[in-house]
């Protein structure tokens, strides 16, 4: 008689071995490290680096009194870590990740991977040089709505993809990106990287290609008119986010003292496989969600909503206006942050640290999202001419496409 009992897991099983984790940058996004250890009892955050004293207190609240708290990343490099989360300011990602990788630490970098193409390429080069594992937190690949649309495309339900349009209605934009350091180019380059890198990565994944030519237009059209400013250093977005009170956009108060990023951006992309795409991002809409339209040679799909209660509609025959399409597929409900994407992402990262398991995310794709967004920013801030996206060194691409050898 065949036994179907589960195998006994021993303490030496690589897939469940204990992990010592670190965190660089204990602000709003630092919570993902707390989520990771909640998901995995064998993982523990043992050290945190952040120069802000309030972040030090927050570290004890999040991870307990035994957590070691430091001012900079150098101390984490000597802490005997297996892996670390880098959730510092966007322009600091490269230097912090590189320091950790040179110390032999596996690194999770929050998106965007970096704010310049050169920084992203430096990170990939050091990851290959040191053999340290590098992972970028593009959690949208794990969102049920995105996975559903990618599956429909992969199954050939709309034929060969030729065009993708994405509209991002950033309804909380005034609160989330114009009241703290995100409002400054020096920290983020542009919000096309901070927010658009997500969607550009999704567009590339579904299209099966990478952007090679891009042009863009955009401007600071609304929030530059708001004169009420405030320094919120050390605070978190949860300290001021209020969807009811902070509306309409021109009635906002306490915006960041320096605002030089755009609140409206429009990008056009041409990919290496002939697919065309557009991405539009607006930070002063009343609603907060993303809408994708994917058009192929035999139909199109479009999402309405992002989670439970939302649907993906498919049109595959000729018609006049047909509100619900020819088929309507409910978006699956998955518990957890970002419609279940955060738990899936963090479990994937911890498995990658332990065993080098394959990942749905891709550091090459993360680099291409940065390269596209950064090049679009250059176009947007000049004469909106079409610009070539710098290609990645083929040797680096081959190394990471092979799965980051141990």
Tens of pLDDT, residue by residue over 272-318, are 999 999 999 999 999 999 999 999 999 999 999 999 999 999 999 99
Output Rg (C-alpha) for the chain, integer angstroms: 22
Q: Are residues 193 and 263 in the same domain?
A: yes
CATH at 188: 3.30.360.10
Residue with the larger pLDDT of the pair 5 and 329: 329
Alpha helices in 111-190 (DSSP H): 117-130, 144-154, 173-177, 185-188
Residue 255 has pLDDT above 70, yes or no: yes
Of 137, 171, 187, the residue at which a domain comes to its end is 137
Q: Residue 223 and residue 218: Cα distance in Å, rounded?
A: 13
Q: Are residues 146 and 123 in the same domain?
A: no
Q: Tell me, what's the pLDDT at 405? A: 66
Q: Residue 403 and residue 133: Cα distance in Å, rounded?
A: 10
Q: Are residues 176 and 98 in the same domain?
A: no
Residue 11 has pLDDT above 50, yes or no: no
Q: Are residues 133 and 145 in the same domain?
A: no
Residue 167 covered by a domain = yes
Residue 3 has pLDDT above 80, yes or no: no
CATH at 47: 3.40.50.720
Q: Residue 321 and residue 310: Cα distance in Å, rounded?
A: 20
Q: Tell me, what's the pLDDT at 4? A: 35
Q: Are residues 104 and 148 in the same domain?
A: no
Q: Are residues 297 and 196 in the same domain?
A: yes
Q: Are residues 323 and 178 in the same domain?
A: yes
Q: Are residues 217 and 323 in the same domain?
A: yes
Q: Are residues 165 and 82 in the same domain?
A: no
Look up the domain containing 298 and give its range.
140-388
Q: Are residues 130 and 220 in the same domain?
A: no
Residue 266 covered by a domain = yes
Q: Which residues pair with 219 in a beta bridge?
A: 264
Measured CA distances, 29 to 26, 109, 256 (Å) = 7, 11, 19
Residue 251 covered by a domain = yes
Of 102, 137, 172, the residue at which a domain comes to its end is 137
* Whether 363 contacts 138, CB under 8 Å: no
Residue 358 has pLDDT above 50, yes or no: yes
Residue 7 has pLDDT above 90, yes or no: no
Q: Are residues 96 and 56 in the same domain?
A: yes
Residue 6 has pLDDT above 60, yes or no: no
Q: Tell me, what's the pLDDT at 9? A: 39
Residue 1 covered by a domain = no
Residue 366 has pLDDT above 90, yes or no: yes
Residue 395 covered by a domain = no
Q: Are residues 62 and 160 in the same domain?
A: no
Residue 2 has pLDDT above 90, yes or no: no
Residue 402 covered by a domain = no
Backbone angles phi, psi at 190, to 5 degrees: -150, 165
* Whether 294 contacts 154, CB under 8 Å: no
Residue 146 covered by a domain = yes
Q: How many separate domains does the chain show? A: 2
Residue 369 covered by a domain = yes
């Amino acid at each position: 008689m065949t036994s179907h009992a589960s195998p006994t897991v021993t303490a030496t099983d690589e897939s469940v071995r204990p992990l010592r984790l670190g965190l660089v940058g204990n602000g709003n996004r630092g919570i993902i490290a707390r989520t990771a250890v909640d998901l995995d009892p064998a993982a523990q955050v043992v050290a945190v680096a952040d120069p802000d004293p309030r972040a030090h207190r927050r570290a004890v609240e999040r991870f307990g009194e035994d957590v070691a708290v430091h001012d900079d990343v150098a101390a984490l490099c000597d802490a005997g870590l297996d892996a670390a989360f880098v959730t510092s300011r966007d322009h600091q990602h490269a230097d912090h990740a590189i320091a950790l990788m040179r110390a032999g630490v596996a690194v999770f970098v929050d998106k965007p991977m970096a704010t310049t193409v050169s920084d992203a390429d430096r990170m990939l080069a050091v990851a290959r040089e040191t053999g340290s594992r590098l992972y970028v937190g593009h959690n949208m690949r794990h969102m049920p709505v995105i996975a559903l649309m990618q599956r429909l495309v992969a199954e050939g339900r709309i034929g060969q993809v030729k065009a993708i349009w994405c509209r991002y209605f950033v309804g909380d934009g005034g609160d989330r990106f114009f009241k703290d350091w995100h409002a400054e180019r020096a920290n983020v380059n542009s919000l096309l990287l901070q927010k658009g890198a997500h969607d550009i990565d999704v567009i590339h994944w579904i299209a099966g290609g990478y952007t090679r030519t891009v042009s863009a237009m955009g401007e600071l059209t609304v929030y530059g008119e708001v004169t009420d400013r405030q320094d919120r250093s050390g605070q978190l977005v949860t300290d001021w986010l209020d969807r009811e009170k902070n509306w309409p956009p021109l009635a906002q108060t306490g915006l960041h003292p320096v605002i030089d990023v755009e609140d409206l951006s429009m990008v056009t992309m041409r990919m290496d496989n002939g697919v065309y795409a557009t991405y539009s991002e607006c930070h002063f809409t009343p609603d907060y969600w993303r809408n994708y339209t994917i058009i192929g040679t035999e139909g199109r799909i479009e999402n309405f909503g992002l989670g439970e209660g939302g649907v993906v509609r498919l049109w595959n025959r000729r018609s006049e206006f047909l509100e619900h399409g020819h088929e309507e597929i409910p978006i699956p409900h998955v518990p957890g942050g970002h419609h279940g994407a955060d738990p899936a992402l963090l479990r994937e990262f911890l498995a990658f640290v332990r065993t080098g398991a394959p990942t749905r995310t891709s550091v090459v794709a993360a680099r291409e999202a940065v390269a596209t967004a950064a090049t679009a920013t250059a176009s947007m801030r000049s004469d909106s001419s079409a610009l070539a996206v710098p290609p990645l060194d083929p040797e680096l691409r081959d190394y990471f496409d092979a799965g980051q050898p141990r």
